[in-house]
């Protein structure tokens, strides 16, 4: 884990009870951030927050379905009531549903866009309001993907939503610029989390190949070294973006993928 002091910055991380979000929250807390663990279920969010507190950090668990406007409004209000402000948002909550376009259920399409796009918009709006109220700078970090830049079969809504986040980040960067509110998208390659572990057998079935072939011939085929990206790799980039001090680094996407996609 990298060490860059966050000096008490208040950091809201959505989808922080598992995988990438959980590691970002742990790394932020380790570096002196006060973290708000926002996730679907309060007990899961609180369990992550408690583990951080047990390790000597400051953390609050909040129940938040990022597609539910009222829960987002209430969750960010609770973060502000507890820690006084929000300095950093990591809009990270996400799921994956894979299918061919011709087999995709409309409700699954809408669910994917709601979590990835509505969730990013609602959490951004509430956190930016707090920054604007205080006339303070901040960092809005959106969790994109290599699929913010390229497409894969079976992933139409995921690819569409992850591309859309680039537009949102650039708009946040323009509107937030005068106050020093920076916005960037992190674009990881494949990371072994529950989200990816679920896809391996699903893709094997859909393409009629073995799980090992899904990993080697699909997921890691175009990396420079055949390696998965790790939660620590992504958390270190999130730490850098949270601590970065000026608008020099805004409106960008940072690809963390073992060279799978080079821009």
Provide the annotated active-site residues.
158
- In this chain, which of 31, 193, 250, 253 binds ligand NAD, going by CB under 6 A? 193
- In this chain, which of 61, 94, 138, 176 binds ligand NAD, going by CB under 6 A? 94
Q: Is 100 exposed, middle or buried (0-12, 13-18, 19+ CB in 10 A)?
A: exposed
Pairing label, strands 58-63, 34-39: parallel
Q: Which window, 82-90, 92-100, 124-132, 241-249, contacts ligand NAD (CB under 6 A)? A: 92-100
Contact (CB, 8 A) for 127 and 175: no
Instruction: Confirm or reject binding of residue 236 to ligand NAD (CB under 6 A).
Output: no
Tokens 């009870």 belong to residue:
17
Size of the site for ligand NAD (CB under 6 A): 27
Instruction: Confirm or reject binding of residue 191 to ligand NAD (CB under 6 A).
Output: yes
Instruction: Confirm or reject binding of residue 19 to ligand NAD (CB under 6 A).
Output: yes
- In this chain, which of 6, 12, 15, 128 binds ligand NAD, going by CB under 6 A? 15
Q: How far apart are CA 109 and CA 2, in angstroms?
A: 37
**In terms of residues, how long is the chain?**
263
Instruction: Confirm or reject binding of residue 24 to ligand NAD (CB under 6 A).
Output: no
Q: Is 19 exposed, middle or buried (0-12, 13-18, 19+ CB in 10 A)?
A: buried
Q: What is the smallest separation between the CB atom of 149 and ligand NAD, expressed in angstroms?
A: 11
Q: Which window, 49-57, 78-86, 97-105, 185-193, contacts ligand NAD (CB under 6 A)? A: 185-193
Q: What is the smallest separation between the CB atom of 147 and ligand NAD, expressed in angstroms?
A: 7
Nearest-Å Rg of the Cα atoms of the chain is 18
Contact (CB, 8 A) for 13 and 241: no
- In this chain, which of 20, 154, 215, 242 binds ligand NAD, going by CB under 6 A? 20
Q: What is the smallest separation between the CB atom of 136 and ligand NAD, expressed in angstroms?
A: 25
Instruction: Confirm or reject binding of residue 67 to ligand NAD (CB under 6 A).
Output: yes
Q: What is the smallest separation between the CB atom of 27 and ligand NAD, expressed in angstroms?
A: 14
Residues between 195 and 224 that touch ligand NAD (CB under 6 A) = 195-196
Q: Which of 218, 157, 210, 165 is nearest to 190 (CA)?
A: 218
Instruction: Confirm or reject binding of residue 194 to ligand NAD (CB under 6 A).
Output: yes
Q: How far apart are CA 33 and CA 236, in angstroms?
A: 14
Collect all residues with Cβ–Cβ distance below 8 Å to 142 and sequence separation of at least 6: 91, 120, 124, 165, 168, 169, 183, 184, 185, 186
Residue ranges that bind ligand NAD, judged by CB under 6 A: 14-15, 17-21, 39-40, 64-67, 92-95, 115, 143, 145, 188, 190-191, 193-196
């Amino acid at each position: 884990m990298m060490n860059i002091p966050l000096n008490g910055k208040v950091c809201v991380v959505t989808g922080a009870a598992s995988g990438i979000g959980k590691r970002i929250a742990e790394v932020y807390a380790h570096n002196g951030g006060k973290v708000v663990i926002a996730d679907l279920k309060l007990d899961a969010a609180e369990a992550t927050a408690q583990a951080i507190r047990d390790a000597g950090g400051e953390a609050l668990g909040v129940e938040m379905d990022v597609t539910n406007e009222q829960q987002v409004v209430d969750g960010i209000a609770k973060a502000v009531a507890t820690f006084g402000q929000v300095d950093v948002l990591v809009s990270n909550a996400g799921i994956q549903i894979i299918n061919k376009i011709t087999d995709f259920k409309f409700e699954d399409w809408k669910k994917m866009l709601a979590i990835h796009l509505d969730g990013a918009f609602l959490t951004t709006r509430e956190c930016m309001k707090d920054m604007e109220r205080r006339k303070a700078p901040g960092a809005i970090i959106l969790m994109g993907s290599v699929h913010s830049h390229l497409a894969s079969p079976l992933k139409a809504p995921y690819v569409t939503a992850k591309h859309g986040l680039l537009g949102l980040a650039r708009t946040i960067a323009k509107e937030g610029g005068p106050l020093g509110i920076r916005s960037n998208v992190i674009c990881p390659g494949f990371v072994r989390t529950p989200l990816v572990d679920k896809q391996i057998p699903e893709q094997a079935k859909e393409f009629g190949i073995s799980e090992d072939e899904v990993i080697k011939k699909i997921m890691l085929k175009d990396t420079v070294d055949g390696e998965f990206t790790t939660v620590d790799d992504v958390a270190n980039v999130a730490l850098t973006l949270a601590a970065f001090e000026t608008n020099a680094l805004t409106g960008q996407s940072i690809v963390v993928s073992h060279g799978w996609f080079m821009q």
